[in-house]
Amino acid sequence: MKNHILSALRLTLVMLVIVGIYLGIVYAGSKVLPTQGNAEIINYKGQKFYANIGQNFTSPKYFHGRPSAVDYNAAGSAGSNKGPSNEEYLQIVQKRIDTLRKQNPDMKNVKVPVELVTASGSGLDPDISPEGALYQVKRVSKFRNISIKKLENLIKDQTETSFFGPSKVNVLKLNIALDEIK
């Protein structure tokens, strides 16, 4: 019995060291990122917004982001945990597709970008694909009386490319840039 306790204590100490080193590496790695592992805060018109947390834009004059399984509540970050074979989930996605097509009637015959009708794993993804933004251009153009070409250029300017993943557009930054068009 004494041997088992000593072995368990040694294993515990070794694991504490390994996990501690791992956490130190992750922490140090976060400090080399542009935001140094902190939230990217944007102050706009007297309000504070977090650019790395999805925002709920519903007005037709704005680009809309991904749906949220947690109603954009950062304290409750989570996915729906429903798989693609779940009947309830399929009904929710179909309802989102129908709503999106109703909001963007000029795009009825265009394939719907998947991120506009499915929530991310965290429920708080702030980004959409450039295709997701382009899908909404005609609606925003109509409500803002801005040319489609100008909006396409704005999306191009707001598109972030990465060596590690696909191109993306931060919806909050895109909508702020949209508001600043004279």
Q: What is the pLDDT of residues 26-43, one digit of tens each?
A: 988 878 877 676 778 888
The reported pLDDT for the residue numbered 80 is 77
**142 and 104 in contact (C-beta within 8 Å)?**
no
Q: What is the pLDDT of residues 54-108, one digit of tens each?
A: 899 999 999 999 998 888 888 877 777 888 899 999 999 999 999 999 999 989 8
Phi-psi region of 36 (alpha: psi -120 to 50; beta: other; left: phi over 0): left
Q: Name all contacts of 79-85 with Cβ < 8 Å and 24+ positions apart.
A: 79/119, 79/120, 79/121, 79/122, 79/123, 80/119, 80/123
The reported pLDDT for the residue numbered 119 is 87
DSSP letter for each residue of 114-142: GGGTS--SSS---EE-HHHHHHTHHHHHH
CA distances from 132 to 65, 91, 108 (A): 8, 21, 14
CB atoms within 10 A of CB 128: 24
Tell me the β-bridge partners of 170. Answer: 127
The reported pLDDT for the residue numbered 74 is 80
Say how many Å lie between the first and final Cα of the chain, rounded.
78
Q: What is the pLDDT of residues 128-174, one digit of tens each?
A: 999 999 999 999 999 999 999 999 999 999 999 988 889 999 999 99
The reported pLDDT for the residue numbered 16 is 95
Quote the pTM value.
0.80
The reported pLDDT for the residue numbered 128 is 96
What's the angle, vertex CA 176, arms to CA 170 and CA 180, rounded to 5?
140
What's the angle, vertex CA 167, arms to CA 163 and CA 169, rounded to 5?
135
- Coil, strand, or helix at residue 125? coil
- Coil, strand, or helix at residue 145? coil
d(CA 20, CA 155): 42
